[in-house]
Structure 1
């Protein structure tokens, strides 16, 4: 693809996302369609939500333009799956949907993608834990992976800039691994729609990403291993490293809530990044603390890729150690702030 064509596409992606969000912010403010603060919120000022709608609409539009330019291999199944998740999230941005219906839609879309692409058949952890899986067990684990990442991404979209910056890290890391290839243009377009969105979402946010954007990004990153990796299990592990703080924070929080006999599906502010916010850390400070750790771990896995992923086990151990140091810091700060904890 010519550099001029790429420049045109990423410029359109940025402008459509940014200008679309400016229009949407103005519209939602006029209509008084705002996310009002409550006891579970991490914000104090009524703010529009749904910034992911113009962001992903921009992604769809520019992807179609790229298709017209014949610049990449257009996988209709990926866009069908993403569009269904996008519509589901768009509805939920303005009217709550039942958990059962939401999960039903997500599971159906996951099954659709897995049937089209086939499932990973070895457990996506480093040796010696990468054992072969029975096909049906593997199929179920693939569903859990896709549905899990979709929802985790939404759960972790709780402070200004956090989910957007995580998305930028995944996009840049993926491009460093595989650019140029037939899927690079898709990632470039997504990256620059995220850049456009970040101009209105970086703390203090003028608009929140909302469910359409968070579910949509979760879906894209969950299915990324099936599109850019020859070995899906290696792909799932690598994307897990790019998303490590989202995934580990969610798993840690679920285990902690189960130990405390709390209902894990009830709304809460128990994630580690939320606990920092409760301690008085600003959204910007939390981002400046966690994002460099995300970049560090993603960089380590990118370096590992140049050694044909021979050091996956070491990377995994480092990831676990970094996360538990992070968790220990949060717990220590809580004890300093409240010695009775």
Structure 2
């Protein structure tokens, strides 16, 4: 317990130091046509997540060098490129190259390429597409105060429960440290007027960490139902992309078509209420998912039909109300 308290203190100090640096070098987020905020705010507060992993490595040296060094390199690579992208716009080629290398390191760390795992070659590209797609979904959904932090906290808490009560798939500290980082980040972000935003370094950093944990859980249990621990994000992003494709829009350009953006920008609902609602829905799904013995396909239908229907219904209602 004292170790975790000490880590929290260090993380708070690191955040305060970063605020000084960001303020001095003008690392800020200016509102634009995609933004759901109206004030200039410090960007890159999500740097707390790679810092938390560095602390994990320092306090768990044997674990890091024996088991998680490749995962750590992948996390640092994606966070470094994302932080640079927060300051200067990088090309898609550079970003995707970093994502590709990081995913290779993640999969290598968890033994996907080992001969004894006998994973068919054709599954590898599917895994790359799925992980990189989920990473970018995490980035797309990072648009309002509290969303990334509280949604991640719910997912991590679910992983803690699974690790303790269902199946121990990882050392507990690899879940606890991002939880501590989320709590510190939320202290500054889960506010009506946020002190800082996560930035790409935050959304990509915590997204990579959580996706890595879920990937390891699926490998260890051979149960793909745990993909649905991120199902709310998945439903939102996939349906939004389909809508934009139907409208013949460039899906790589900034937009305001996400449901949470419509609630925040048009309906003027509190960011904290929206973020809390998304996290609560995912928590309900996770509670059902963890204790369900149904087939994956049946679980998918039970989750996606009502959640997708609710999403489409709310989207249709808001678009009709505001003539969008």
Q: Give TM-score, length-normalised by structure 1.
A: 0.84
Are the equivalent residues in 1 in contact too, given 2:50–2:75 (CA < 8 A)?
Answer: no
Tell me the equivalent position of 1:262: 249
Aligned to 1:210: 199
* CA displacement at 1:134 relative to structure 2: 8.5
Match among 265, 279, 296 for residue 312 of structure 1 = 296
Task: Please name the residue that 2:47 is paired with.
Answer: 53
Question: C-alpha offsets along residues 238-275 of structure 1, whole Å, 9 cap, x if unaligned?
Answer: 1x322111111111111111111111111111111112
How far is 1:232 from its partner?
A: 6.3
- 1:61-115 deviations in whole A, cap 9, x for unaligned? 23321336x7996421111111111111121121111001111121122233334
Alignment partner of 2:35 out of 37, 41, 63: 41
Change beyond 3 A, Cα 1:82–1:232: farther
> CA RMSD of the aligned region, Å?
2.4
Q: Which residue of 2 aligns with 1:328?
A: 313
Does the C-alpha gap of structure 1 residues 111 and 244 become closer, same or farther in structure 2, counting only changes over 3 Å? same
Q: Equivalents in 2 of 1:9, 1:189: separation in Å?
A: 11
Q: What residue number does 2:261 align with?
A: 274
Match of residue 86 from structure 1:
79
Confirm or deny that 1:114 pairs with 2:114. Answer: no
* Contact 2:155 2:283 (8 Å CA) reproduced: no
Is 1:190 matched up with 2:178? Answer: yes
Structure 2: how far apart are the matches of 1:218 and 1:312?
Answer: 23
CA 1:174–1:325: 2 relative to 1, 3 Å: same
SS at match of 2:121: helix
Partners of 1:60 and 1:71 in 2: CA distance: 10
2:275 to 287, 290, 310: 287
- 1:246 — aligned with what? 233
Q: d(CA) in 2 for partners of 1:287 and 1:160?
A: 7
Q: Residue 233 of structure 1: CA displacement?
A: 5.3
How far apart are residue 11 of structure 1 and its match?
1.6
Contact 1:77 1:113 in 2 (8 A): yes
Contact 1:37-1:45 at 8 Å conserved across structures: yes
Stretches of structure 2 that go unaligned for 5 or more consecutive residues are none
Q: When the two structures are aligned, how many residues end up with a matched partner?
A: 314
- Write the mapping of 1:53-202 to structure 2, written as runs, cut at 5 A: 53-67=47-61, 74-119=67-112, 135-179=120-164, 182-202=170-190
User: Is the Cα contact below 8 Å between 2:70 and 2:108 reproduced in 1?
Assistant: no
What TM-score comes out, normalization by structure 2 length? 0.88
Greater CA deviation, 16-25 or 146-155? 16-25
Specify every segment of 5 or more residues in structure 1 that has no aligned partner in the other structure, as ranges: 1-6, 121-132
- How far apart in 2 are the matches of 1:145 and 1:171? 20
- Aligned partners of 1:314 and 1:192: how far apart in 2? 35
Distance in structure 2 (CA, Å) of the matches to 1:74 and 1:15: 26
